Amino acid sequence: MSSSMKKHVLKRGFDIPFEGDAEKSISDVSVTRFAVQPPNYRGIAPIPKLLVKIGDHIQAGDAIFYDKSNPDILYVAPVSGEIIEVHRGEKRAIVEIVILADNKIEYRQMESMDVGSADAAALRKFFRSSGLWPLINQRPYDIVAEDIEPSNIFISTFDTAPLAPDLSFVLDGRESEFQIGLDALSKMTTGKVYLGIDGRRGAQVSDAFAKASGVEKHSFVGPHPCGNVGVQIHHVAPMGLKDKVWTLTVQDVMTIGSVISKGRYDARRVIALTGAELDRPHYVRSYMGANVGELLKDVQVNEHSRIISGNLLSGQKKTENQYLDAKEVQLTVIREGDFYRMFGWLSPVSPSPTNSKSFINGWFKKRCDLRVIRMGMSEHL
């Protein structure tokens, strides 16, 4: 890691120990149903303009809908196949557009771009028409980015949430696509593209992160939430009242690089299946918006479990008939918490972790046996 990289040491926060980290192996899983979910994209109208109907056959990268207030920004299909369902919620808002995927994914072919010669205007037009624009989130409010020039762009290359996927492992084999994505993004702002790098002891950081070019890298050390991009923004370049900042995930940047270099919308995702209620937590390879039940079909899920799209702290509860959220690359399965223990965390019997001195366990030293803590957590989580 570069010695010139600025290091930020964060003291506040708390790491909650959980069992069920994904082992470092990736398997391909056969998923037949995928969904594009408009509610995943904050800031757009609840009833966007649908461009498909049930029975239509589409290719990966074909437009599915657009926001009526921003018709140039297209939301596209992650896979090819047949539109089989359009689910609506309250007030007829569109909740899901479900695709029955082809056995072999077919792609809408687009012209690839030369990032070196393209200017910002050409890149913006390409992002809007190719379906890449909705991958960008904007702060404040974490909405789909407006068609503006951001003050800065931030990408966190690690996640400190419980059981979060190892993004250096996920990136393996697609390093060039990640760099192409960074090169494109750096042309879309007169500010800087910042990479948040894992500086914690023992972290194995991919060279694609540590040696990325055209960006400014900052190392972060500390407990959760030091991997959160909002925390990194605060410590690197705090936003002013009129500032608007873009944020992206690592796998979204990989998709950008793939579309630019190959001319096709590649929505592949490496998804971490985590949690102590799985018999074999590991990584699987699929596509954005995959069906939850089909992702879990090759692992044994204990009865009476809760399935969460995302991590334990900010993820959303899902059933096996629902779909992975667009930005999520983690499924967590834990024991359903509908039982109770006398005195809860006040009980001195098991040293459950807590960051609050209001509880007896908060006075235990951090050097206490992690194995015992994990046993205590599994009793009531």
pLDDT given for residue 304 in this prediction: 84
Higher pLDDT, 352 or 255: 255
At the second CATH level, the architecture of 268-335 is: Roll (3.10)
| 357: pLDDT strictly greater than 90 | no
Q: Which of 255-259, 331-335, 372-376 has the lowest mean pLDDT?
A: 372-376
Q: What's 126's DSSP letter? A: H
Which has the higher per-residue pLDDT, 343 or 188?
188
* H or E element, residue 175: helix 175-186
Strand order in the sheet with 282-287: 23-28, 282-287, 268-274, 330-335, 305-309, 316-318
CB-CB contact of 206 with 168 (8 Å): yes
With a pLDDT cut of 70, the percent of the chain lying above it is 89
Read off the pLDDT of residues 109-134 as tens digits, 9 standing for 90 and up.
Answer: 998 889 999 999 999 999 999 999 99
Predicted confidence at residue 378, as pLDDT, reads 41
Quote the pLDDT of residue 232.
Answer: 98
**Residue 54: CA count within 13 A, CB half-sphere:** 5
What is the tens place of the pLDDT at every residue in 97-111? 999 999 999 999 998
Q: Measure the CA–CA gap between 282 and 298, rounded to whole angstroms.
A: 11
pLDDT of 90 higher than 50:
yes
The model's confidence at residue 62, banded by pLDDT at 50, 70 and 90, is very high
Confidence class for position 373, pLDDT limits 50, 70, 90 = very low
Residue 217 clears pLDDT 80, i.e. is over it: yes
**DSSP structure string for 151-163:** S-EEEE----STT
CB neighbour list of residue 225: distance below 8 Å, 6 or more residues apart:
13, 160, 161, 231
If pLDDT is split at 50, 70 and 90, which confidence band does 274 have? very high
Does position 161 have pLDDT exceeding 80, yes or no? yes
Q: Does residue 379 register a pLDDT over 50?
A: no
Global pTM? 0.92
Q: Is 360 helix (H, G, I), strand (E, B) or coil?
A: helix
**Which amino acid is present at 132?**
L
Residue 220: is its pLDDT beyond 90?
Answer: yes
* Res 360: pLDDT: 63
Tally of CB atoms within 10 A around 103? 8
- In sequence order, what are the residues at sequence separation of 6 or more whose Cβ sits closer than 8 angstroms to the Cβ of residue 238? none
Domain boundaries, the chain: 110-263, 268-335, 344-380
Does the pLDDT at position 369 exceed 60?
A: no
Please give the single-letter amino acid code of residue 244: K
The rounded mean pLDDT for the chain is 91
Look at the alpha carbons of 175, 176, 177, 180 in this order and tell me if their dihedral is positive or negative.
positive
Q: Per this entry, what is the length of the chain?
A: 381
Check residue 372 and give its pLDDT: 37
Nearest in space to 283 (alpha carbons), one of 316, 251, 315: 251
Q: How does pLDDT run across 167-195, given as a tens digit for each residue?
A: 999 999 999 999 999 999 999 999 999 99
Fold of 110-263: Rossmann fold (3.40.50)
- In this prediction, residue 337 has a pLDDT band, given cuts at 50, 70 and 90, of confident
Query: Could you read off the pLDDT of 7-42 as tens digits, one per residue?
Result: 999 999 988 888 899 999 999 999 999 999 999 999
